[in-house]
Structure formats: structure tokens, C-alpha cells
Amino acid sequence: MLQRPTQTAAFWRDQFEVTADDMEFVYQLLLDTQKPMALGELALALIEEYLRRENSHIEQELAKGTVYVPQNRYTVGQKVVFPALDFAVGEVTSVRPGQNPEHGQFEVIAVSFGGKDPKTREFAADLQTPHRLNQVNGNRLVHDEALLSADEIYQLYQPEIDETLLYALEEGDRHADFVAVDRRWLLSDMLAEVHVGHLNIAEALIEMQAKPLTTTQLLTEVELDKNVSENMRITSLNHAMGTDERFVRVNQGREQLWFLRRMQPSEVQTTPLLLRYRVAPYNRSLLSVEMLQLEWELDDEWGESSLSSEVPSVVPSTSLVLIYPHRRYGTLPLSGRTRSFFPMADKGVSLVSLVDGRWGTRYTGWVSHEGRYVAGLSKWMDDHQIPVGAYITLERTATPNEVVVDFRTRRAKREWARLAQTDDDTPNLRFEMSKIQVACEYDDHMIVAEQTTEEMDALRERIRQAGLDVTQIVNQVTPELIGLNPQGTVHAKSVYSAVNMVLRTPPGPVFFALLSNRRFRDVGGGLFALA
């Protein structure tokens, strides 16, 4: 039976290569549609073109003669096409009776293929017994419902097809003819010219407005070639700004806007080291049920339990405990409990409006999806003197991309807190008890404070240079914290909070370091003492 190459896994996985004809087809497709197309759309169109070419080839070959079917009769001099022999065309040179009791009466035709195959070959004809080739006919060879469609082929072999096509678009001989904008492909010639003067105007507009602007807003002053369609002018400016380091794209709802990278908060431009979690392998099976429960309560955005406890978007409010890294940079975590309150994306930055639940002041929130935090609340935390360990609440509003940020207020008074101490030349973190002014509810196990930010920054740098890991920091900090308590114990949450003053880590590695260290003894209730 005929085996079409396009119907085999071997072709798409091992043999498929984008040829010059294929690139010309893609070029003409984009030229005809006059609009950007996703890689998947191009791939599907190319597969359909392969199927069309294959059918066209089959039709051309079938037109050269009569399709060979064993049950049919043939005459001397007749041209016969053999699909199973790669559409070889032969001429019947003789017809004689066949001799085989199993098949009854039938004929044997001798066929000469000429050219490279001078020998005649014999085939059965007028065969009345069943034979699989009797099912072959020209129409079915072209239109067979059992054949895979272009959609089905793409679903089966998408990774291989995408990789091959993408390489041809980016690295092939004609890569200069194509350009990708927002992961959609178009012809380079379709773009309007955007020179440095246009980009300087866009920069000035954003700077004057002091807020992100849409491409359409920018085009009111950035005058591109009017002979190019409006959609293509938008695409052209997006492409040019996307390749210029001055500009950064941000999302606001479903809208995409442009802003100046230098005008973003520093913690949005680059994720601070204290907000970056470098994965620390540990034996999670050693964590007790009690430790796992504490981990779930803390809901650290980098903790493993946070991934499976996401709050549904119908819940009107939620709360969290502020840890030092987020207090230091005025950020909030994108954790299981908070993630659904903010725009969702895999990467990039989104804008939200953060409303002070006390005074009604509005702040611009910058959602760093990859960093798993929302920046923009440093002034709010400073104005309300929010301490580490404070309970922060988030509340949805009827306005899209708007979240109320609040805390649980109480009468201000001085409370005991673990005050971090540093030595000028050692990577050691020490603590003493000291009173600080607090005007909100807080978790007593989590509250920590610092003398100066500069001292803590310097200590973190010494720890980084010394290469200390979670286990070593827990080993050094835990006895310090135990010494502050007359009962000679420290809560696991306190150790977690203290370690995060110098190294970003979720609770799991900290709890493992406590449980696996023979210096410390688990006395229950989340408390640890010296062994």
C-alpha cells in the first residue's frame, strides 16, 4: 500500500527540514495576509501546504495511466500506474491466463517499466478473490478519511515542527526577511521605519506624563509613515521600543503599556538579593506534621506548601505576616493566599492600584511575576511604622486591578522585639531584646528589628562573601535567640524570621536545619531548646 511521508512520525521527527520553497511559502503567506501570525499559525499553514503538495503529486502521477487494481482487467498497450511502487508507470506487454487453484480463474499481465528497469514484471489481473490492493483507487488515494489532518499532525509533532520552523525563521538563509514582535511573526518590510528621533520623542512623552503610556497614546506625537496601516504602525513602534533598553513593557489589566526602565522602582528594575531564593536542597520527609502545619501558616511564596493552597478569587480578603525582606523593600509576597488578588502572568511586570485602608492614599503597585512580589509600598510602611511580623490584610474592590492594603490597628505602645546586632568584621548575626514603638497587631514570634539598614546590608555582604548557607546560619542564630528567652527555648518561626534578615529562604530548609542539628532539641509546640 502507498505510504504517504506526511502520515509518518519518522518524517516529522527525523526528516522534516524547512526548505527554500517552504520559506518562500511562509513569505508569501505573510505578504498576502498583511498581519502578524503566531508560530503555531505558520506551522499549521505549512503542514497544510505539505499535504496539498503531496495530493498534487499523487494526482499528477495518477493522471499518467490507469491505477493498478488486481480485480480489474487490462489490455496490451495500456498504461498502468502502480501507487505501491512509488507511482511507477508501466505498459502492459502481454496478458495470459493465471494458474493457481486458490484463486480460481484470473489473468497475469506482463508490464514493462522501461528506462532503468528493462525487465518485465508480472501482476495478477481480473482477480476475484479478496486482495488489499482492490481497495485502492485514485479518488481514495487523494481523499482518504483515515488520513491525519493538518491539525492532528501538528498536535502529534508540535515540538519538533516548531523547533525546526523557528530555527529557519531566526537563523535560516532568509532570517533577515522576518521579524518577531510579541511572539508573532511578520515581514521586516511590513514595518514602518522607526528611527532614534521617534524613540527620543516617546521617551520624552513618558517622562513628562510620569506614568506608563499605551502605544496608541505615544503615536499621537510619534509620527510614523501614514502610508502604513495603524495596526502596523503600532506593531512597528512596539518592535522598536522592545529592542531599546530605555523602555520596559508593563501590563495593566489586558492593556500593554510602555514605561521608562529608569523610572521604575529599583526593586522592580532588578530583584534585590534578599528577595531572591536560591534553592537549598533538603530532606522534606524529615519535617514533622507540626512543622508542615507551621509552614502552611507562614505561606511563604517560595515554600512548597504555598503552591497547593491558593486562595480562590471569590474570597473577599486575606491576611499575611510581614517578614523582613518584604519590609526592607516595601513589597508584598505573591503567595498562595495573595496571588489571586493580583494580575496573573508567568513573567514580566503588571500594574495595580494599592489603596491605603487607613487614609485612602493610592499607590502604584508593581507586580513582579517572576520575582513573586508586589513592590511599591515602602512609603506606606514607613508612614504607618509597620514592623516586621505585622499582620497585613488585603481586600478586593469592585474596581479591576485595585486592592486595599491595611493592617490591624491598635493603641501605639513600646513592645519587646529581637534587635539584630552586627560585628564590623564577622559574618555573625547577634540579637538582643529591645523595645520598639508598635501601633498594630503582630506575631510575637516573628517580630525582629534592626539598628540601621546600612549595618544589615553590610552584614549580608559579609555572609555572602563567606558563602554561608541556611544550615550554617541556623546553627549560629538559634543559640542567640534561645539566650533571649528565660525559658531557654525559641520558636521555629522566630528562627525563620531571623534567618530571613540575612538570607532569603522559605520555612522548609530552616525547619530541616533545626530538626537535623543535634545541638537542638524539639520540645513540641514549635519550640526548640539546646540539647
Inside any domain, residue 297: yes
Residues 426, 406 share a domain: no
Residues 109, 252 share a domain: no
Beta-carbon contacts of residue 269 (< 8 Å; ≥ 6 apart): 261, 262
Report the pLDDT value the prediction gives residue 214, as an integer from 0 to 100: 95
Report the pLDDT value the prediction gives residue 126, as an integer from 0 to 100: 86
Measured at the alpha carbon of residue 268, what is the angle toward residues 246 and 503, in degrees to the nearest 5? 140
| DSSP-assigned beta bridge partners for residue 251 | 256, 350
Q: Are 221 and 230 in contact (CB under 8 A)?
A: no
Residues 319, 240 share a domain: no
Question: Nearest to residue 401, comparing CAs of 212, 253, 251?
Answer: 253
Residues 195, 259 share a domain: yes
What is 247-309 written as a DSSP string?
Answer: EEEEEETTEEEEEEGGGS-HHHHS--GGG--------GGGS-HHHHHHHHHHT-TTSTGGGG-
Q: Of all helices (H) and strands (E), which one includes residue 429?
A: strand 429-440
Residues 405, 441 share a domain: no
Q: In the listed set 219, 235, 263, which residue is the last one of a domain according to the structure?
A: 263
Residues 393, 371 share a domain: yes
Q: How many domains does the chain have?
A: 5
**In this structure, are strands 448-450 and 409-422 parallel, antiparallel, or unpaired?**
parallel
Q: In the listed set 263, 293, 326, which residue is the last one of a domain according to the structure?
A: 263
Report the pLDDT value the prediction gives residue 119, as an integer from 0 to 100: 78
Inside any domain, residue 113: yes
Residues 43, 176 share a domain: yes
Q: Are 133 and 7 in contact (CB under 8 A)?
A: no
Compute the distance between CA of residue 515 and CA of residue 291 in angstroms, rounded to an integer. Answer: 10
Tens-level pLDDT at each residue, the chain (531 residues):
456 789 899 999 999 999 999 999 999 999 998 889 999 999 999 999 999 998 888 877 777 888 888 888 998 889 888 877 777 888 888 999 988 877 788 888 998 887 766 778 889 888 887 766 655 554 555 556 678 899 999 999 999 999 999 999 999 999 999 999 888 999 988 899 999 999 999 999 999 999 999 999 999 999 999 888 888 899 999 999 999 999 999 988 888 899 999 999 999 999 999 999 999 899 999 999 999 999 999 999 999 875 555 666 678 999 999 999 999 999 999 999 999 999 988 888 999 999 999 999 999 999 999 999 999 999 999 999 999 999 999 999 999 999 999 999 999 999 999 999 988 788 999 999 999 999 999 999 999 999 999 999 999 999 999 999 999 999 999 999 999 999 999 999 999 999 999 999 999 999 999 999 999 999 999 999 998
Residues 368, 330 share a domain: yes
Beta-carbon contacts of residue 435 (< 8 Å; ≥ 6 apart): 414, 415, 416, 417
Domain encompassing residue 79: 69-135
Length of the chain, in residues:
531
Report the pLDDT value the prediction gives residue 60, as an integer from 0 to 100: 79
The CATH number of residue 379's host domain is: 2.40.330.10
Burial of 474 (0-12, 13-18, 19+ CB in 10 A): buried
Residues 419, 406 share a domain: no
Compute the distance between CA of residue 432 and CA of residue 356 in angstroms, rounded to an integer. Answer: 33
Question: For residue 531, which amino acid is it?
Answer: A
What is 316-379 written as a DSSP string?
Answer: -EEEEEPPHHHHHHTEEE--TTTGGGS---SSSEEEEEEEETTT--EEEEEEETTTTEEE--HH
Residues 452, 502 share a domain: yes
Question: Nearest to residue 77, comparing CAs of 65, 61, 87, 59?
Answer: 65
Q: Are 136 and 75 in contact (CB under 8 A)?
A: no
CA 464 to chain centre: 30
Inside any domain, residue 140: no
Residues 454, 336 share a domain: no
Inside any domain, residue 313: yes
Inside any domain, residue 314: yes
The CATH number of residue 250's host domain is: 1.10.10.10
Inside any domain, residue 35: yes
Measured at the alpha carbon of residue 506, what is the angle toward residues 502 and 512, in degrees to the nearest 5? 100
Burial of 201 (0-12, 13-18, 19+ CB in 10 A): middle
Inside any domain, residue 272: no
All cell numbers assigned to 299: 505561606
User: In this structure, what is the dihedral angle of CA atoms 339, 345, 346, 347, given to the nearest 10 degrees?
Assistant: -110
Q: Are 141 and 126 in contact (CB under 8 A)?
A: no
Element counts in the chain: helices (H) and strands (E): 16, 24
Cα→Cα distances 30→40, 158, 214, Å: 13, 21, 26
Q: Are 419 and 449 in contact (CB under 8 A)?
A: yes
Q: Are 332 and 321 in contact (CB under 8 A)?
A: no
All cell numbers assigned to 92: 502492459
Helices (H), 416-524: 453-466, 470-482, 492-499, 507-516
Inside any domain, residue 457: yes
Cα→Cα distances 335→144, 158, 371, 442, 524, Å: 53, 33, 11, 19, 27
Q: How does DSSP classify residue 451? A: S
Residues 490, 394 share a domain: no
The CATH number of residue 77's host domain is: 2.30.30
Compute the distance between CA of residue 505 and CA of residue 321 in angstroms, rounded to an integer. Answer: 15
Q: How does DSSP classify residue 386? A: P
Place of cell 511564596: 301
